[in-house]
Structures are given as structure tokens and as C-alpha cells.
Structure 1
């Protein structure tokens, strides 16, 4: 029996602390990081003894080295209690877990480097980074207390003692409202720009009873995503085009400014320095993430609305951009194609609802007419239009979405899929190149 995949998702709960509370929260993070740096040194020194222990056994083993109690007066590192007086036990255990993870990662990477497993022959050995930008994990009852979902009480350091302070929660998402979701220990994120709780949830979706249909997605350049909801009998019950043009224009305008600045910097020759226009590229990357989230959210909404059995994508792994005519920007446009991001974000959102994602062979999805009449011909002036052998003009992306949906249905119906095998009948394309008309034939044969 297949073990169900564990689905962990994180919500951001924004906090609205006063200036005094913000200082207390910042001081708490600062002290926590200092403790983590101290513990990294201790754990690395004794890693030969600690490395083989389980996570549950490692924490008490580290505490025996640095935490003094009435039953344990003599310890090897008494400086920790002096430097971090009355440090809360649950903050200490969270710091130990984080420091052990840092050391374990370093030891593994260094062993791989020593064994010759390197990206380059002249790669330098990894470094043990004890000065990390970590944030404290909060344990319920000991480090934080929820007062409804409007306020949270957090244990903070005021420079001398650990006290409780109540902070207002200004905004949060909906995962806490789902009864099947289990809230885990949040992290306190405080810096110059943000102040919020990063709250992970162990999501356990309810068992679905889907309808006999799939939501097919054709990812393109002219239209970001074309959706078609296809039933097992080949009926298209919904179609939709998703194209956040305003965000795409914002991204392309910034990328265009990079080439203009590069030409002014280099002139007729020369090189640009490393990190050239890095801030612009980061901004474009954030816009791409926003576009992917907008598109994937809408795809999942459609699949949920029609209670689809699965969301179907083309398998585009390993696909590489090819240039078009001379001086065309086709290759550049392909580099802005968010096929991987949209697919991954969609799978994350859909899995949380208990759905599954199916991939089908991408060959000839847009090239074959969905009605089985043959190969389509693209319009030279408007590439999004296709002409069928019968003379019918149709949207090329929508035609592709129909065929993707048909292949997804056949893949779900046939447990032992014949992907990649050629048909025994001469003159017929491989069975994985199915079209929407194949579902019609199958439905009619059942009725006959």
C-alpha cells in the first residue's frame, strides 16, 4: 500500500508590534542567533559522539555538555549558562536542533568534497557557517500563546529577563480554519522590513470523489495558459484563456531596459561586469513568481469547480528554447515562458486539496486537429490561429488543450498506459498521440 505524501504548507501571519515591542522582538532574535553560534561550536567539537544519535537522543546529549542543573552540577561548558542567563528551555532546544542541522550539513558536504564529488576540480572546500540568519522556532505554551487569531503572546528578551508581550495579528490566511490541518511550531521572522510569524501546517486533505473529467492545461507564449475541462466521453464542458498581460508587460519593459543599459555601458565592444542589473533581474523574477501564482491559482479554482479527477500538463522536461527568424525575439520570449513554475505551483496547490497532476506526451498536441481530420496549418500572420484540413479555423492553443485533455483521460483510464509504443496499424501515429476524437470513438463503441 502506497504511503500518502506528507503535505506541509506555510502561512504568513503579519504582526503589528509597537516600536517598543519591535525592539524586544529584534533583541530576542539577536540573542537566539548568538546562542546558535555558540552551540554550533560545541556540537561540531563533539560530532564524532553526537553524529550517530537520533534527533530525540541528540538534544539531551548536548544539554549534558552545556546546561547546568541541580542534578548535573558539573558540565564541560558552563560558559553557556553565564552568557545566556535564564535562557528558556524550549528556545534552547530549538537552537540545538538548528545548530545540529548546520553541523550535519557541513560534515556531509565536506565528506563529499574530500571524496572528489565536486562541481569543478578546483572547487574550494565548504565552510562551517555558524553566523547564519536563522529565526527562533516557537513552541506552543512555552514560547507563544494564541488569544484567538487576533493576538499572540510571545516570550521575548528585554535585555535582562524573559518576559511575555502581546502582539496584534493583522492578517492571516485560511489554512488555520481547515479542521483537518494541523498547526506546527511557527518561526518568528523579524528584520528591518518584516515582522511576522511563519506558520507551517501539516495538511491532510479529505478523500475526494471526483467527477469523470480532467482539467487540461496548454502552456503557451501568446497565451500564458489555455484551459479545457474534458469529460471521459470527449465533451468539453468548459474552456478559458488565462493571460495576465499587465504583469507580463511590466516584466518585459524591465528586461528591455537591461539591453538598453548594456549597450550604453559596452558601446561597440567590451564586457559588462558581474552582477550587472542584478536588482532588475531580481524584480523580474518576483514578477514571474507573481504571474505563476495568479495562473496556477486560477487553474486550481477551475479544477475544483468542476471536481476534476486530475490536472493534465504536457511533459516539457528537457525542452530547450530555439531561435526563430533572424533578428526575431522568439528565443528571448521562450526564456520568459513560465512552463516549469506554473506547473510546480499548480501541483503544490492542487495536492493540498487532495488532487493529482498527470503529465502526457507533448508531441503533436497542437499540430494534430482535435477532430481527427489531420495536421493543422498555422497562420503566418497570427500564429495563435490554426487551419484544419477541412478548412475550419480554430484557436491553436485551445486545440492543443483539447488533445492534452484526451491524452490525460486515456492515461487515467488505462492503468497500464501504452505511452511511447507505436500502433500496430500502419499509417497511424503512436497511441500516445491521441486526439479528442479518440474519446468520441471510444464512447460510441461503448454505446454500440
Structure 2
């Protein structure tokens, strides 16, 4: 099972928007007061058979518990819904547990600096109310409208709202309790959906992706015997130009300013980050569509986690382009989308995929004037990003066929000096060989 969250925007009147704001304020005030109670009684609450029931005995009066220890809650929060109260208890439990864990680590000496101050407990958190189906929220059959119980300052009453748009994901899985989100004057439901994970049929094809600077992503469909079925270049040039234009604007302002203060060009940096997020979302969706259209059940990336750029001078245009490189966010978003579709994402060792020719002719030479082009030792000219994508797919299949012990791209060595060549795995490794070849590609 996997959980995915959909955003359902709500059509509200100004009065309903005010009620949502009051509900959010009331819920956060409740959580803030409850967090003090839970923190002060944490050892006893952890030993109780039911954490939620133990907290309720402290704050909520009932026929069997007419005089709870803390009467503030029944006086301050009039007719606070029971399901909303239990949602607040679970949220506060996580907040207090996190604080005590971090404080314990600080006492044990696990600190970033020797003079690091202890973590502070901040009960005022930006949480949102969770709505239990049937008790706090009711959907109609086609999910075009929703009834939500809101606090209007005097009573908790039901209010009907229209849903602007929904995805079809909730038809394929089971919806969980949504959260009521109010941000920037707009209201929406954050609806988690539990989806049963399926597996795509094994067609013995992979989609290998080279994430680059000159071309954002170059994808190739590679079969187990080294056949290239399809290729595609993904490079949203218009969005990238919009991002780079703002990066140049920052450089221009920095040269004029000299000493940069905290928060320099904060709005421009925020815009660049939003454009990058949009580029990653669009490109990852196109990658998944391309892989599914050609029957690939695995998407292969280079393992660039933790990689930091070294090329380019400080504050140079090349260094700026590296800082805007989407090598991690693109791989993460692609994996999230492809796993939901039933596929898998794998990562292989990155070194040598771009510097060795896919045909086995040896190292290649990149053009200094045009880095997208490369020259093989045989004199052949070829696209460098396509060459890298071929080798990425070949490394996956070499690991799958146990030609390598891991995905490091090196063939298994012999005891003698002769035998397999001392070069990384390339696409030519998968091509059928004669019987006298030092290794065979399995069928």
C-alpha cells in the first residue's frame, strides 16, 4: 500500500472563510494548551494502557469522570468535538515525543556545536485540524460538495461547500481523514488516499535517464540485449530561460550592491525555487509517460545523492547553473509517480558513464565549444547525453545479469591479468558476442 495526498480546493463564501479561520484558531489554541498538559504528565501517560484515554481523563469531564484535573478545557472550549479532540491528542503526542527525543540527544552530547543551546519546546505550532469522516466531514457521492463542521464563535455547525476540482485517484483507492488547510486566503482539503500497489509486467526494458546541465534529461529505452528502442530529449527551454533570467538579475544586483545583507533578493530566490519545482514536476511526468508508453518497468538514474559541483569559479554563471540543477528533485518526483504506476526506480554508479563511448571504443573527447557533442576514438561524432544514457541502462542490465557484483559499472575481474577488459560497462557489453569472447550476455 502507498499513500498519496490530493488537494481539493473549496468554493467558499467570505462568511465560510471566516468560520474556517475561527476553526483553525480554536484547534491550534486547543493543541497549545494540551501540549503543556501532555508534557507535564508524559511519564505517566506513556505507562497508561491507552494514551488517548489517559489524556481525556485529565481534561474531559464525563459521567464516570465528573471532576478532571484540568477544568480549563471544558470552560474555554465549548462543546469541542470529541473526534477533533482525539486528533489533537495524537498530534500533541508526536510534538512532545519529538521534543523529548531531541532534548535527550542534547543531554547525551549529540550536538552540532559544542556550545549549542538546548532545543526549545514550542507549543504554538502551525497545525491544521484533521476531519474524521462522518463526524467532522461528509462527502456526497460524486464528491462535488462537502459538509464540514465549523466553529462560528458560538456553536459547532455544519456548513456545505462546493469542491472546485478533484482528481480520479480517490476512485482507485480508499480515502483517509482529510485535513482542513487555510493558506493565503484560500481553503482546501488535503485528502490522503491509500492505493494498492501494483506491478507492471516485466517486458525486459528499462528507461535510462541522464540528467544534465545542457539538456535537463535524456531518456532512452534499453532492452536486455542492448537494443535501443526509443530516445527522447526533455528540456523545457522556456521555463529554464525564465529561471536563468532571474539568476542573472541576482548577479547584476550583487555586483552593484557589494556587501550582501541577510535576505538579499529573497523574493527573486523564491521565484527561482518555484520555477524549479514546476520544471521538475513537468519533466518527471513526461519521463513516466515515456517509460510507460514503451513498456519499461524500471527507470534508471545515476546515483548522484550527496554530489556537490566543483566546476566553475565562485559566483560564476556555470556555478549558478549547477546550483539550479535538478538532479535530486527530478529523480525523487519521478520515483514517486512511477511507483504509483507500478514501476520501480534504480540508481547506478555515475562515474564513467559520460566519459566512455557506448560502442566500446574507449574514452571519448567532449567538445570545448559545444559540451553536448563528443568525439569517439574512432572519429565518430555523437551526442554526449545520449551516450551517457545508453551506458546508464547498460550498467543496470550488467548488474541484473550478474556481470557485475554491484551497480558500480565494473566487470567481474579474473585472477589472471588477461580476461575481461579493464574498462567500465558500456552498452557494447550487452551486445551478442562470439564464443571466443571473454564474457557472454545472457539471453
CA shift at 1:299, angstroms?
1.0
Q: How many residues align?
A: 434
Contact residue 26 and residue 191 of structure 1 kept, 8 A: no
The question of 1:398 aligning with 2:398 is answered no
- Relative distance call for 1:338 and 1:184 in structure 2 (3 A) is same
- Relative distance call for 1:417 and 1:45 in structure 2 (3 A) is same
Aligned to 1:36: 31
Aligned to 2:234: 242
Aligned to 1:177: 171
Counterparts of 1:421-436 in structure 2, within 5 Å, are: 423-424=413-414, 426=418, 433-436=424-427
CA shift at 1:85, angstroms?
1.3
CA shift at 1:298, angstroms?
1.0
Separation in structure 2 between the aligned mates of residue 299 and residue 22 of structure 1, nearest angstrom: 39
CA shift at 1:194, angstroms?
2.3
Q: Name which of 9, 27, 41 aligns with 1:46.
A: 41
Q: Name which of 182, 189, 203 aligns with 2:181.
A: 189
Deviations 1:414-435 (A, max 9, x none): 397344455335485557x211
Q: Name which of 197, 203, 207 aligns with 1:205.
A: 197
Separation in structure 2 between the aligned mates of residue 293 and residue 7 of structure 1, nearest angstrom: 19
- Relative distance call for 1:49 and 1:416 in structure 2 (3 A) is farther
Separation in structure 2 between the aligned mates of residue 439 and residue 100 of structure 1, nearest angstrom: 54
- Relative distance call for 1:293 and 1:322 in structure 2 (3 A) is same
The question of 1:323 aligning with 2:311 is answered yes
CA shift at 1:320, angstroms?
2.4
CA RMSD of aligned residues (A): 2.2
Separation in structure 1 between the aligned mates of residue 432 and residue 31 of structure 2, nearest angstrom: 66
Aligned to 1:288: 276
Give the unaligned 5+ runs of structure 1.
1-5
Separation in structure 1 between the aligned mates of residue 313 and residue 368 of structure 2, nearest angstrom: 13
Counterparts of 1:96-111 in structure 2, within 5 Å, are: 96-111=89-104
Separation in structure 2 between the aligned mates of residue 397 and residue 416 of structure 1, nearest angstrom: 23
Deviations 1:250-273 (A, max 9, x none): 11111211122222222xxxx321
Separation in structure 2 between the aligned mates of residue 325 and residue 157 of structure 1, nearest angstrom: 57
**Bigger shift: 155-164 or 321-330?**
321-330
TM-score, normalised with respect to structure 1: 0.91
The question of 1:10 aligning with 2:5 is answered yes
Contact residue 283 and residue 330 of structure 2 kept, 8 A: yes
What SS class does the counterpart of residue 51 from structure 1 fall into?
A: helix
Separation in structure 2 between the aligned mates of residue 391 and residue 52 of structure 1, nearest angstrom: 74
Aligned to 2:51: 58
The question of 1:216 aligning with 2:211 is answered no
Q: Name which of 158, 172, 183 aligns with 2:152.
A: 158
